[in-house]
Structure 1
Amino acid sequence: MMKSLTRALPMLVVLGTLAGAAPVTYTVVANPTLNLMTAESSTVVENIVARTGEVSGTLSFDTATRAGSGKVTVNGSSIKTGIAQRDNHMRSDAWLNFDKTPGIVFETTAVKHVEGDQYDVSGKLTLNGVTRPVTSRATVKLTPASDATRAAGAKGDVLAVTTAFKVKLSEYDVTNARIPNQVSDTLAISLKFIASSK
C-alpha cells in the first residue's frame, strides 16, 4: 500500500497542479525587431509587400485547458512598403485611411486547440473602422523564462504566436483607383509576435 501511494504521489502532484492552473496574462513585447506583420498584394502588374513591427496587445492563456483569448493591435501608420510616396498614399483616405484610423485590431471570439501547438482561432478584425469576422490557424508556443528570453526583452514566460489569413479590402470599405489591376483587393496577412507574462 505504501509503495503504491509513493508511486502515485508524483502523478497526484502533477494533476493537482494542472487542476489548479489558471489563465495567465501575457503582454506583447514592445520590440519591433521581434514582432512582424506583413501584408502582400499580388497582381499581374505589381507585387507589394508591406511590413511593420509595431504590434501591441494582451493575451490570456491557460496551459491546463489550452484555452486562450486576446486582443492585438497593429499600428497601420507604421507600415512601410519600400516606397515613401506609396506609403503616404496608403495612409490617406484614398486607400487604407490609416491617418484617420491607424489601428488594425484583432480580437478573439473563440480559440480551439487542434493538436500540438496548433489552434483554430475565430475573431473580429477591425480595419478602416469596419469590423468583420475572421478565422485562422495559429501556432502558439509557450517557452519558460530563461536567459535567452530575458535577453530578447521578455521578463517572464513567453508565448510566441504565428498566424496568417486573407483580408478582402472591399469588405472593409477600402477603395483604391488602382484596384484590381495594380493593387489586389485581397491581401495575404501574416502576423508573428511574442508576449511575456511579466
Structure 2
Amino acid sequence: MKRFIPIGLLALPVAGATPVTYTVVTRATQLNLMTVESQTSVENFTGRTSQVSGTLRYDAVTKSGSGTVSVDGASITTGNGMRDTHMKSADWLNFVKTPTVTFKTSAVKPISGNKYTVTGTLTMNGVTKNVTSTATVKLTPAGSATAAAGLKGDVLAVTTSFPVKLSEYGVKNSRIGGQVNDTLTINLKFVASSGS
C-alpha cells in the first residue's frame, strides 16, 4: 500500500462560483514532479518523485477553487540509496512513522495572469505551520494539444514552490547544518484533467 503526502491547493470559497473537478493524471509521470532541494557547503542533493495524485475544483472565471494533491513520500529518491533510506527514517523526515505531509489552503489571492499567492498550513511530522507560496495555474481547454498529450477534457497545469524549515517541524538530524540544510525547497508541478 502506497503512502502519500497530501498537499492541498487553491481553496477559496466564492458565492455563485461553478468550479469544475479536475483529477491529477497519475499516469502522466513525465508531467508530474515533486523535488526537494538541499544545499550546504558540504553536500548538495535533490530528491525527486513523479508519484503525484489528487483532486482539484477550480473556477476559471472567479479564479477560485479547492483541492488536495498527494505525493508518495516513500517514492522520493536522491540518487543515493543510503541517503534515501536514512531520509525516510525516524532521525530525518520520519516517513516511516509519519509519511503524510499536508498543505491546506486557507486563502488564495490572484496576483496577475495565471499567478496566485496561496496561504495555508503545512503539517509534517505531526507539526502544523503557516505557509505562503506562489502558484501558477494554467488552464488549457480540451483540444488537439491536450489530446496529443493523451489527456482527456480540460487540463490544469499547476506549479508551486516553497521553503520548509525542518527544525520547525520537529525534524532533528545530526547532519543538519553540515550535509543537510535546515531549510529545504519544495517544488511541485503536476497536471490535472476534467476528463481524467
TM interval, short-chain normalised: 0.7 to 0.9
Whole-angstrom distance in 2 between the partners of 1:141 and 1:45: 38
**Superposition TM-score, scaled by structure 2 size:** 0.86
Matched ranges for 1:43-54 at <5 A:
43-54=40-51
Deviation at 1:153, TM superposition (A): 3.8
Whole-angstrom distance in 2 between the partners of 1:21 and 1:127: 32
**CA shift digits 1:71-92 (9 cap, x unpaired):** 2121111100000111000111
Aligned to 2:188: 191
- Aligned equivalent of 1:181, options 158, 175, 178: 178
Aligned to 1:29: 25
Deviation at 1:123, TM superposition (A): 1.5
**CA shift digits 1:126-158 (9 cap, x unpaired):** 222322211111111000112332343421101
- Aligned equivalent of 1:129, options 123, 126, 130: 126
- Aligned equivalent of 2:112, options 105, 112, 115: 115
Q: Which piece of structure 1 moves more, 122-131 or 38-47? A: 122-131
**CA shift digits 1:7-38 (9 cap, x unpaired):** xxxxxxxxxxxxx8611111111032211111
Aligned to 2:146: 149
Q: Which runs of 5+ in 2 are unaligned?
A: 1-15
**CA shift digits 1:28-58 (9 cap, x unpaired):** 1103221111111111000011111111111
**Larger helix percent:** 1
Q: State whether residues 36 and 192 of structure 1, in contact with CA within 8 Å, keep that contact through their aligned partners in structure 2.
A: yes
Q: Give the number of equivalent residue pairs.
A: 180
Q: Which runs of 5+ in 1 are unaligned?
A: 1-19
Whole-angstrom distance in 2 between the partners of 1:130 and 1:32: 30
Which letter maps to 1:112?
Answer: K
Identity across the alignment (%) = 64
Please give the secondary structure, in 2, of the residue aligned with 1:101: coil
Sort the Cα spacing of 1:21 and 1:146 in 2 relative to 1 into closer, same or farther, 3 A. farther
Residue 100, structure 1, aligned to residue 81, structure 2: no
Aligned to 1:11: none
Q: State whether residues 160 and 194 of structure 1, in contact with CA within 8 Å, keep that contact through their aligned partners in structure 2.
A: yes
Instruction: Pick the structure with greater CA Rg.
Output: 1
Q: State whether residues 74 and 105 of structure 1, in contact with CA within 8 Å, keep that contact through their aligned partners in structure 2.
A: no
Name the Cα RMSD after superposition: 1.7
Please give the secondary structure, in 2, of the residue aligned with 1:148: helix
Aligned to 2:39: 42
Whole-angstrom distance in 1 between the partners of 2:82 and 2:174: 16
